[in-house]
Amino acid sequence: MVVGRIGRPHGVMGEVSVEPRTDEPDQRFAPDAVLAVLTPAGTAPHGAGRSTSLTVRSARKHQSRLLVSFAEVNDRDAAEALRGLILATTVDPDETPEDKDEYYDHQLIGLRVVTGTGKPVGHVTQVRHGAAQDLLVVHTDDGRDVMVPFVSQLVPTVDVPRGRIVVDDRPGLLDPVLDSGEGASSETGKDGA
């Protein structure tokens, strides 16, 4: 489960700003908590000196962010190297968020994706956590990977018990938009667009 995104360094002692992605920051960023470190694509960081986990030394609130220090990070340069990385923790597979409109990544991965008309699209293979919004990576039935912004306007229904997500398909969202010279259709949708 993603709990935060590391921002810029704060000061010279290795403290970093963290944009919390959890309703329980006091619990998730408690001293001695060990957090996994991931790239925004969900992979382990690569390169010399890039750790795959960090141990929280301390955390304090500062405006809308947290300021966090980690046992493994002792100076501004090391803190700068963490900028943009995602912090995650493991959760019990049966644990669910308190808010009914929030989901843990493991709840979404593997769900079938259908359009509002029930047309099968594919299944969710990954959740990417960006600075502005999360993206669902959907592997389509025809073998492509498409990214769908995980916002209620495009994903109006998430039905974990039934194992499906409904996507409001829009031109270019699930199928590539073709230039008029490449066989694009002149048909319009139900909204006349």
Q: pLDDT digit string (tens) for 128-150? A: 877 678 889 999 999 999 999 99
2-88 and 105-167 in the same fold? no
CA distance 45 to 28: 21
The overall pTM is greater than 0.85? no
Confidence bin at 1 (pLDDT 50/70/90): confident
Q: How many CB atoms lie within 10 A of CB 97?
A: 15
Query: Span 105-167: which CATH code?
Result: 2.30.30.240
Q: Quote the DSSP letter at residue 180.
A: G
pLDDT tens string 25-75:
888 899 999 998 887 766 667 665 567 889 999 999 887 778 999 999 999
CA distance 112 to 66: 35
CA distance 82 to 50: 8
User: Helix or strand or coil: residue 78?
Assistant: helix
- E strands present in 63-144: 65-70, 86-88, 112-115, 120-129, 134-140
Nearest 5°: CA angle at 60, between 55 and 62? 130
Taking each continuous run of H as one helix and of E as one strand, the counts in the chain are 3, 12
Q: Where are the domains of the chain?
A: 2-88, 105-167
Fold classification of 2-88 is Elongation Factor Tu (Ef-tu); domain 3 (2.40.30)
